[in-house]
Homo-oligomer: A and B are copies of this chain.
């Protein structure tokens, strides 16, 4: 977790140009809110539509995991989704205070009837780096980072539809 050159799940040393955090209850109805808020936040950048769509899928996976695995579908727990803009990249963190898991669980991958550990595979495909910090009984924090072409110049208004 502290290899140089690798993203740590701790806040970046570089100062964010803009950041936000949204706290939501662990209910599937709030998945759309998490996606919309993150996409709206990043609409200040000049992302292309497919990038925004990929970010939404990654957010969906991480928040679904918090609901399903972190909290075992308990509906009254809090999930924190934060997003930040840095000069050359963007960052999303999803955190729960739930069950957590050990490396073994993760290696084991999915356990559902119909799923097979696709969540992290999609997060890794759509973001440039995914770092996971989890401890059984303490919760899970997933930090995802995506490089943004060229320097980012925030200032575009955040649009009403995203």
Interface residues, chain A, CB within 8 Å of chain B? Answer: 18-25, 27, 29-33, 35-37, 40-41, 43-44, 56, 154-162
The reply to whether A20 and B40 form a contact with Cβ atoms under 8 Å apart is no
Instruction: Kindly identify which residue among B18, B40, B56 contacts A36, using a CB–CB cutoff of 8 Å.
Output: B40
Instruction: Kindly identify which residue among B20, B24, B32, B37 contacts A157, using a CB–CB cutoff of 8 Å.
Output: B32
For A41, give the chain B residue with the smallest CB separation: B33
The reply to whether A25 and B33 form a contact with Cβ atoms under 8 Å apart is no
Number of copies: 2
Instruction: Kindly identify which residue among B19, B36, B56 contacts A25, using a CB–CB cutoff of 8 Å.
Output: B19
The reply to whether A25 and B20 form a contact with Cβ atoms under 8 Å apart is yes
Instruction: Kindly identify which residue among B30, B32, B37, B158 contacts A22, using a CB–CB cutoff of 8 Å.
Output: B37
Given A36-B37, A36-B158, A18:B23 Cβ within 8 A: no
Give the docked Cα–Cα distance between A27 and B32 (Å). 24
Given A29-B44, A157-B29, A162:B20 Cβ within 8 A: no
Give the docked Cα–Cα distance between A32 and B37 (Å). 10
The reply to whether B155 and A36 form a contact with Cβ atoms under 8 Å apart is no
Contacts A31-B157, A33-B40 known; list 8 others, CB within 8 Å.
A22-B23, A29-B154, A32-B160, A33-B37, A33-B41, A35-B160, A37-B37, A161-B162
The reply to whether A40 and B32 form a contact with Cβ atoms under 8 Å apart is yes
Chain B residues whose CB sits within 8 angstroms of the CB of A30 once the complex forms = 18, 20, 41, 158
